[in-house]
Amino acid sequence: MQADSPSMAPAADRTIPRTGAQIIVDALCAHGVETVFGYIGASVLPLFDRLYDSPIRFVIPCHEQGGCHMADAYARASGRVGAIVATSGPGACNLVTGLATAMMDSIPLVALTGQVRTDLIGDDAFQEAPTTGITRAVTKHNSIVTDIKDLARTIYEAFHIASTGRPGPVLVDIPADLEFQKHSVNGPIRVSLPGYKVPKNGHARQISQAAEAINLSERPVLLAGGGVITANAAQELRDLSTRANLPVAMTLMGLGSFDQRRPESLDMPGMHGAPHANFAIQNSDLLIAVGARFDDRVTGKLEAFAPGAKVIHIDIDPSNIAKTIPVDVPIVGDARVVLAALAELVEYRARAAWFARIADWKRRYALDYDRAAATIKPQYVIEELCRQTGGEALVTTGVGQHQMFGAQFYKFAHPRQLITSGGLGTMGFGLPAAIGAQIARPDAVVVDIDGDHSFNMTMAELSTAVQNELPIKVCILNNGYMGMVRQWQELFYNKRYAYSHLRNPDYAQFAQAVGAVGITVQAKDQVGPALARMLREDKPCVVDFRVEAEENVWPMVPAGKSLDEMQGLEMLQNAM
Ligand SMILES: Cc1ncc(C[n+]2csc(CCOP(=O)(O)OP(=O)(O)O)c2C)c(N)n1
Ligand SMILES: [Mg+2]
């Protein structure tokens, strides 16, 4: 296969010998890279020296993990490839969590790591780590370049592989001596990867089978995953839903692909999903999953998942199809192309009885909480944030209860509006993700809905936000606990809160110490004013909300139970 390759540099320049470091910078520029995240060290000094002279904006995190999450969120917010550079040994090792996070959520990243000189590799040289070995399983592809002649092409391939098909992180390991060597690149740089095929259209017969099943269905559910957002297919999703009259559920990664304010929205299903989404899936006769991979947090007990449903699965990655649940109509292709083709073939059906049942579930089990409580309920903070931002903020999260409260109570309308670690569930993602997202979208109101302990993991990056003058907002739902762990301990370990409680720093003082704005909120009536002030600030701003310590996320499908075995439903009914 031959891919269109961006031209590397003005033709006249290509024949002039250039150093490896310059070749790397040229390759980044040729791919339109405007921002690179990363951290310096001996093995990448020549590269940094060239980057210093380039038009590329360079953002230095406090820790390479943070930098990798920044590049990842930059990619999620912009739809472009994120770029991260790290030095050999400890720098490269610090990328692992960031790469795994991006891998699990199919995010296009190119990571360039320095390596010790080629003559030292294998000698346990200073700052040598077997980077390709360490990162093999957490990258879509990785390689080490050992010949300067291969350098430019390898980076071009990395961009191609990262951004096509099911996207993912690609790492290129570059020994320091190659950065000094000189080489002239003659002729265009072509990406030719014969074994790498990118499906696109989907099989016409399978598409017509799927349309037929949709037309016959009485109780369909369209389930949109992160792949819809990656494929920029939100418009096509909506068209299909409108034309065939289909209700739409969204996985955590799919939130934003369909406007939750529309009546056809079923919101998020799964372990902490909306009861109406779970009941709809369990009672459906047809499930049309698009760019969703049937994660166990979505399906619950597999054998009891959507028992009466025929399943259509649209995915660009054939290895996702029938991986966990049997599929009746598989369609391997680009979500945007396949959804558009399907929309041409479907017919409108009213399905009044089905929509009436859905409306009844929505009424009976609306997500709710104790609104009369004197304490600050985390759900209240999110609802108020959603109200004050008009539902238009770009939200990032850590991992835990606050992430689920955010997914449940903020109503998302646009793709790329929620940036969260869905697959790996990486605590510490929220703050660096907010930084990367704000750089990608300078005009957006970027809010990190964080947990106290998630924030603790990468809080040093607040000074990166200050350094780069980014007006990110951080709402810490500070319950003093690793709340999600505490919830499991409460429910399944007889309230033995083993090691899930720690004494936290004073976050407002910390924020002020690094040059950000810090606010502490201890009373319910201060939630609104504090959020209003946070939204007015043009400096990074951290608000420490001292929320109810032992609030739980309801409903909950306990691990191993089926989607309709939700705990906490009676609480939702009582709240009415
Ligand atoms: C890096 C990492 N380590 C451990 C976990 C396991 N874990 C999941 S949620 C959670 C607690 C999160 O606490 P906090 O950030 O305060 O959020 P809360 O649940 O209280 O809202 C833990 C420890 C994880 N997801 N990520
Ligand atoms: Mg907490």
| Element holding 451 (H helix, E strand) | strand 446-451
End-to-end CA distance of the chain: 59
462: pLDDT strictly greater than 80? yes
* Angle of the 64-78 helix axis to the 430-440 helix axis, nearest 10: 50
Ligand 1, atom 1, lies closest to the CA of 427
Instruction: Please give the Cα distance from 13 to 30 (Å, whole number).
Output: 13
Q: Encode pLDDT of 399-440 as tens digits.
A: 999 999 999 999 999 999 999 999 999 999 999 999 999 999
Residue 449 CA: which ligand is closest?
1
- Whole-number pLDDT of residue 15: 74
Atom of ligand 1 nearest to the CA of 378: 21
Who's near 149: CB < 8 A, 6+ residues apart? Answer: 183
CB-ligand 1 contact for 427 (6 Å cutoff): yes
CB-ligand 1 contact for 400 (6 Å cutoff): yes
Residue 73 has which token pair? 């969120």
Residue 457 CA: which ligand is closest?
1
Q: Rounded to whole angstroms, what are the CA distances from 534 to 55, 475, 526, 527? A: 33, 9, 12, 10
Cα-to-chain-centroid distance, residue 416:
9
| Element holding 335 (H helix, E strand) | helix 335-345
Helix/strand/coil for 570: helix
**Strands 2-3, 109-115: pairing kind:** unpaired
Between residues 571 and 392, which one has the greater pLDDT? Answer: 392
Residue 295 has which token pair? 């994660």
Full strand arrangement of the beta sheet holding 541-546: 418-419, 394-397, 446-451, 473-478, 541-546, 517-521
Atom of ligand 1 nearest to the CA of 405: 21
CA of 325 to the centre of ligand 1 (A): 28
Residue 546 CA: which ligand is closest?
2
14: pLDDT strictly greater than 70? no
CB-ligand 1 contact for 452 (6 Å cutoff): yes
Flag whether the pTM goes above 0.85: yes
The environment of the single-atom ion ligand 2, i.e. residues with CB closer than 5 A, is: 451-452, 479, 481, 483
Q: CB burial class (10 A; 0-12, 13-18, 19+) of residue 289? A: buried
Atom of ligand 1 nearest to the CA of 427: 26
If we measure between CA atoms, which residue out of 191, 238, 203, 240 comes closest to residue 334? 203
**What's the whole-number average pLDDT of the chain?**
95
**Strands 82-86, 35-38: pairing kind:** parallel
Instruction: Please give the Cα distance from 197 to 193 (Å, whole number).
Output: 8
CB-ligand 1 contact for 425 (6 Å cutoff): yes
5: pLDDT strictly greater than 70? no
Q: Encode pLDDT of 258-305 as tens digits.
A: 999 999 999 999 999 999 999 999 999 999 999 999 999 999 999 999
CB-ligand 1 contact for 558 (6 Å cutoff): no
Residue 101 CA: which ligand is closest?
1
- Whole-number pLDDT of residue 1: 35
Q: Encode pLDDT of 131-173 as tens digits.
A: 999 999 999 999 999 999 999 999 999 999 999 999 999 999 9
